[in-house]
Structure 1
Amino acid sequence: MGTTVLQDLAPAKVNLSLRITGRRPDGYHLLDSIVAFTDFGDTVTVEPSDSLSLEVDGPHADGIPTDDGNLVIRAAQALARATGTGRGAAIRLTKSLPAAGGIGGGSSDAATTLRLLCRLWDVSLPPKDLAALALTLGADVPVCLEARPRHMSGIGEKLGVLPPFPKAGIVLVNPGRPCPTPDVFRARSGPFSTPALPMLPGHSAHALARALTRERNDLTEAAVSICPEIRAVLSALRDAPGTLLYRMSGSGATCFALYETPDKARAAAAKIAREEWWVASGGLA
């Protein structure tokens, strides 16, 4: 009987919109965001082991920690504590998404690890408890547990259901420059926004883009002040053939554009490609 090996995609998380609606006394900002996921991303593989270990490979593996400095290990440790299991796992993380890119790579890796280890270890937690555990790892981890379009608010812990999204293509571009989230929030100025209006994504990529045009990303100006290269990325996405909507995701520096189909997204990505930029394309999950 062979060894059980489980593998799953840890998709990129894209903030299709991001409003900053307030700030708590503890300093955490309150968000209102339409979140979606791509059909490409990192890959997490787990198999049984006597101990807990992490190996990282892939095109963006450089500098990624393999100890509890990595959310993947912290997620595994938290799940083991919460369920009382003494089992281990050999985890391999294949990094295809750039670290600290504003597309939830680490959070998605951690959420995917939780899902896989629940299966590998044959353990479970009530959904609310698993979501609460995920929130202790980071504000984006709960939404990445579900990996489907959601209306996210609070500090990330409040997840509202959205109508199904239509099929659409997406291009992600990162200029290869650091854009630390704490610095972006510190650079933000001006009044807070009101919450987003109800989201009606429609039945086509064109309808989805139209619905999102009334939204925005409140952190764009602050992020550009820290990473001016974002402006060049947004210009390239605007000018690419077939672009329906373009915007920065999260706190940057990754930006996205929507297209009618994944094939049109891939064609646009080929036009946008620059040696110093990370460019990926595919579909919305």
Structure 2
Amino acid sequence: MQARLVTRAPAKINLSLRILGRRADGYHELDSLVAFAGVGDELTLLPGEESGIAISGPFAAGLSLGSDNLVLKAERALRNELPALRSGRFHLTKRLPVASGIGGGSADAAAALRLLARLNGLPPGAPVLYAAAARIGADVPVCLEARARVMQGIGERLGPPLRLPALFALLVNPGVAVETASVFGRLGLKPGETISRETVPGVAPVAPPYAPREIVEALAAGNDLEAPARGAAPVIADVLAELSALAGCRLARMSGSGATCFALFDDCRASAAAGKLLARAHPSWWVKPTMLR
């Protein structure tokens, strides 16, 4: 029997997120600079075993083991492209909060596609992987390579990988699940309505790596979902206020549709010290110093 295959599913962080409008079909157009964290879930594939999934880890409670699980959806989506797909049984170690704006489920689905690609001898950039990813969810394509880049459209249009520096960050989730659909609903956009056609400024794939201060200047675009998310979960405002008050914080922002927020610092010592302070003050919050790339 072939040895088990293992991969990480890193958290996706929206460094900036602009909503440009709502398409006639109801989907929202966005423009977002995305990076990936050093923390994430872990997915294992046991080739040749009966298809299915087991889940463990600190955030495993309540996750479905049925056909609606995103890992199993990824397997089915790729099998639709490749009927003779070899597979097996998955085991997910769930370390990321659920419904938290950091793409945990999408990262897990993308991880499943990567493992199945390895098992079936598919190259990482195989078009069938991206075709399958696009059918699972808007964030899954950008999670396939898990590299910093700009994503546009509803998430299906990906720019080239960007050479960002290591960004020393603190991720914080207050333990409140936020439903993405409700946040978009609070925007109140009608089908066909446009907000803006501005794009993420200041970052080019051929430019030298940016210093952290220059990254902060480039990210003045903000997150357009922050205000409606605060309406759905007022604690987000508290998290952002706490992060902004931490010594050395260069920028505090919400990721995705929330409720996870992040702060950027000049070095790992500052982010680690801030994390210890915040964890002592709020022991029920999920607090993780990490690097974004």
Tell me the number of residue pairs that the alignment of Structure 1 and Structure 2 aligns.
283
CA contact (8 A) 1:50 1:87 kept: no
* 1:75 and 2:82 are equivalent in the alignment: no
Please give the TM-score of this superposition, normalised by the length of structure 2.
Answer: 0.91
User: Structure 2 matches for 1:78-227, cutoff 5 A?
Assistant: 78-85=77-84, 87-123=86-122, 127-189=126-188, 192-200=195-203, 202-212=209-219, 214-227=220-233
Runs of 5+ consecutive residues of structure 2 not aligned to the other structure: none
CA–CA separation in structure 2 for the residues paired with 1:99 and 1:211? 29
Question: Counterparts of 1:263 and 1:116 in 2: how far apart (Å)?
Answer: 34
CA contact (8 A) 2:142 2:158 kept: yes
Instruction: Give the Cα separation in 1 of the matches to 2:149 and 2:217.
Output: 18
Query: How far 1:125 sits from its partner (Å)?
Result: 8.4
> Structure 1: which 5+ runs fail to align?
none
Tell me: CA distance 1:162–1:7, structure 2 relative to 1, closer, same or farther (3 Å). closer
2:98/2:177 contact within 8 Å kept: no
TM-superposed CA distance for 1:86, in Å, is 5.0
The residue type equivalent to 1:83 in the other structure is L
Do the aligned partners of 2:86 and 2:116 also contact (CA within 8 Å) in 1?
no
Distance 1:86 1:127, change over 3 A: closer
1:259 is aligned with what amino acid?
Answer: F
Q: Match of 2:81, as an amino acid?
A: A
Q: CA deviation at 1:166?
A: 0.7
Q: Which amino acid aligns with 2:17?
A: L
How far apart are 1:127 and its partner, in Å? 3.0
Equivalent residue letter for 1:211:
A
8 A Cα contact 1:242 1:260, kept in partner: yes
Q: Percent identity?
A: 44
Task: Check whether the contact 1:237–1:257 (CA below 8 A) recurs between aligned residues.
Answer: yes
Report the AA paired with residue 283 of structure 1. Answer: M
Do 1:47 and 1:120's aligned partners in 2 also have CA atoms closer than 8 Å? Answer: no
